[in-house]
A and B are shown apart, each in its own frame.
Chain A
Amino acid sequence: MQKKSRLQAAARAAYILLIAAMLFLFFTTDFGLVDIHKTSIVVAVGIDVTEEGYDVTAQAAIPTPAQGGGSASYTQVTGSGATVAEAIADINAKTGFYPKLVFCNLVVLGESCGQRDLLTVLDYFYRNDYVPLTALVAMCGGSAQELLGQKPADGGMSSSAIQRAMSDELKNSAIASTVNLKLLAQDAGSPSNAAYMPYVEYGSGASGGTTTASASGGSGSSGGGGSSKSAESAAEFTCKRCAAFAGGAFAGVLTEEQTFALNLIRSNIRHAVVNAVCNGENFTVGLKNNSGGASLEVQSGVPVLKLSYSALANVQSSSSRPAAEGSANSHLVPDEVLLSVAQTVRDRMDSLFDFCKGSGCDLFGAERMLYMYYYDDYLNIKGSVLPALKVEYDIKIDSVR
């Protein structure tokens, strides 16, 4: 009996040891631990369309062990291939490590990507489970490789500087748009079949003019890295405009005013700034408690888009009524200025509406709303909603009291 209980105890101990060993395997990826000297973390990817297919530029942070005393660095590598996936495999072949895209937070499309279908270019990122759908997407003029090769003023990675130009703060101020892979696919895959993304531009911080890229060159080369600064070549990135796509094709770039209007309608804006000219004087007005949006109604078979916007305004700066002169309630906005601000907002929305109609790019999501809320009407007029679309504005701007 005692022998049996000892046997049971031994069996139990052996079983516990076996489970512990298995758990150890389980949580160490079967000893598949990663040597950080032989890996890199891709934080941004740039895509350019070439005659042969695609050039993909990966900007990768290289982990450095703390005990080694090294500082953080990065590298930029370009691979080529018939598809984006093949170009990424090319990067692998050139660098010796498999680029992990788990931490890829930015995908930049070069101007040449406008020649191809948007979702075809980005196909790899939707098929691959290792690319997060939270990665931001943007387009740039010229080459994405050149853009990523620019050195920002802080000497860090250009991808970080670009992401700062698309920060939540700028988005909340209606200055920049922010779109990630998920939102892009949802817009492009909706009945409206239209999408937009920030359009990245850069200029020299020192001269203010546009610089040409001085990035690392062709395939397989690597550059970047280090903390050396060059005030002359430091690039400043802005995303005040938007690239628009209709049916997967590039439809054009919105102006700053049109982008502002789009942001008022599509984003949750907390505080926006508008400059209005009233009686020949400049009034810069801050807008808070913003509430904007688009809705759709069908009136006698005609789709009517209703663009609404309301906000509370206060004067931030005025050339005619300096606050230092002691005028009471200097932040109050005169009625005529309010009207002027409302007209400015309306003009910008109108300009955006004209762009959408002219380019056949349903950035307002009118067809999607028709599909959702008026399905019978959608069946009747789908595909020809934009030409038939009418617009009504409801813009209310009051002064802060």
Chain B
Amino acid sequence: MTDQLCTRQVCFIMAAYTAAGKLLMMPAELSYYCGGDLWLPALIVYVLQVAAVWAVAFACSKTDKTFFALIEGVLGKAASKVLCWLFALFFALAAVLPMFSQKLFVQAIFYDTIPALITFLPFFVFSVYAGAKGLKNAGRVADIALPLMGISLIVLFAMSVGEANVGWLLPVLRTTSASSVFSGARFSLYNFTDGAMMLMLMGRFRYKKGDSLKITLSYALSALVVLLFLVLFYSIFSVLSPDQYFAISKMAIFFSALSIVGRVDLIAVYAVEICMLFALAFYIQLSVTCVCGALGKEQSKGRSASPASAVASVAINAVLLAVLIAFNNSYLVVQEAFGRFLWIVFVLFAFVLPPLVWALKRGMGGGANGKVSGGTGKKAGRPPSG
């Protein structure tokens, strides 16, 4: 095993990147289905995701293999490669709606009245570069992204809280039907790839005692921040919430000082936007990692990206760009497709597969307390201790 990340970076990724993408469209979408109970579907999904993240993080204490190495050990090399490709497709798919959201956000907030596609195209230059750089790079970026996002969110929360009236959330759990909660959860599932994300980080950091708790708590803290954000969002906008896309940029506009000093809150919004872009690029990085794994190629050579990684990054970004151009003015169509049909893919990859690492570990014969050790095939690690 090569340690690409340290535990802190895994915690930061699970805290910052998982929260960033959920602050744009999800609040408005959830309030459309559930009104003041918008936090409920998010809470239910989060509880399941925290369990999935914990299952994977705790499995890391028993094995230092990657997920694909475990698959290879139990089901064979062919199955491992097939899953690599499937996960590559999944993460590329997971990037689609966040990418559309980002495009609309950039056009609506930063570009006034010129909704041209070209304004978002520079993202792909950044994305090709970041996508090829691999997970080590993602970890380093997370070291910067988390503090940046943390400070920005504190500033935005402080500016927004004065306008909030939590009374708008009442009555609690009286006006929302179970089907609305289910619809809300279903249509927001494209934001929840966190269990799958943790699955990809498995075996890529050196596990120390207590790390599973740290990682799970980091993720739970991020969940808490998102839930607080949802509550604050509805407390501010109430009946107007379903139309308030790009929530993060609108929360602080009622802060009285802004009428005098101007939209200084946009500085914090820009900072969060940077984190969102890196969170979006992280999907592509994970997809590239999976493609390289499927091809049996190294993702990086020293500090440089390998040719395979670069080609994979270009290919994935080209596909995403093609999708973006094809559905440039059809965000709602894409959203509908994810909410009605593709949500099941997210359930499978982010909710069902992560806990299965325990079955794989048992299949490897490590036993309940035994630590299954080993690398990704070529690089063997420590011998099994159990």
Residues of A within 8 A of B (CB): 8, 15, 18-19, 22-23, 25-26, 29-30, 32, 98, 100, 102, 105, 126-127, 129-130, 132-134, 168, 182, 185-186, 189-190, 371-373, 375
Contacts and interface: CB of A to CB of B under 8 A. Distances in A.
A30 B253 contact: no
Contacts of B250: 133
B46 to A, nearest CB: 26
Contacts of B116: 30
Given A26-B122, A375-B171, A134 B129 contact: no
B254 A29 contact: no
B368 interface: no
B330 interface: no
B118 A134 contact: no
B125 A182 contact: no
B171 A190 contact: no
Interface stretch (B134-142, B222-230, B234-242, B342-350): B234-242
Contacts of B238: 186, 189-190
B179 interface: no
Interface string B159-170: 000000001101
B125 A19 contact: yes
A32 B304 CA distance: 36
B111 interface: yes
B313 to A, nearest CB: 13
25 contacts: A8-B304, A15-B129, A18-B125, A19-B125, A22-B121, A22-B122, A29-B111, A29-B112, A30-B114, A32-B114, A100-B112, A100-B113, A102-B112, A130-B112, A133-B250, A133-B253, A134-B259, A168-B256, A182-B254, A185-B240, A186-B240, A189-B239, A372-B171, A373-B170, A373-B171
Contact of A182 (B113, B121, B240, B304): B240
Interface of B: 108, 111-114, 116, 118-119, 121-122, 125-126, 129, 167-168, 170-171, 174-175, 237-240, 243, 250, 253-254, 256, 259, 304
B310 to A, nearest CB: 10
A86 to B, nearest CB: 17
Query: Ordered nearest first, which 9 A-B pairs have the shortest CB separation?
Result: A22-B122, A189-B239, A372-B170, A375-B171, A375-B174, A26-B122, A22-B125, A186-B238, A32-B114
Overall SS of chain B's interface: helix
Nearest to B175: A375
Nearest to B243: A126
Contact of B119 (A29, A126, A168): A29
A25 B126 CA distance: 14
Nearest to A374: B171
A127 B244 CA distance: 10
A130 B114 CA distance: 12
Contacts of B304: 8
Nearest to A181: B240
A58 B120 CA distance: 32
Contact of A129 (B108, B118, B259): B108
Nearest to A369: B167
A26 B167 CA distance: 41
A26 B239 contact: no
Contact of B118 (A30, A105, A130): A30
A124 B384 CA distance: 68
A168 B260 CA distance: 13
Contacts of A22: 121-122, 125-126
Contacts of A29: 111-112, 114, 119
A92 to B, nearest CB: 11
Contacts of B253: 132-134
Contacts of A134: 253-254, 259
A133 B163 CA distance: 12
B254 A19 contact: no
Contacts of A26: 119, 122
Contact of A190 (B108, B113, B175, B239): B239
A26 B239 CA distance: 34
Contacts of A185: 239-240
A23, A102, A105, A186 interface centre (most CB from chain B within 10 Å): A186
A185 B254 CA distance: 15
A23 B238 CA distance: 37
Contacts of A105: 259
Contacts of B256: 168
Nearest to B163: A182
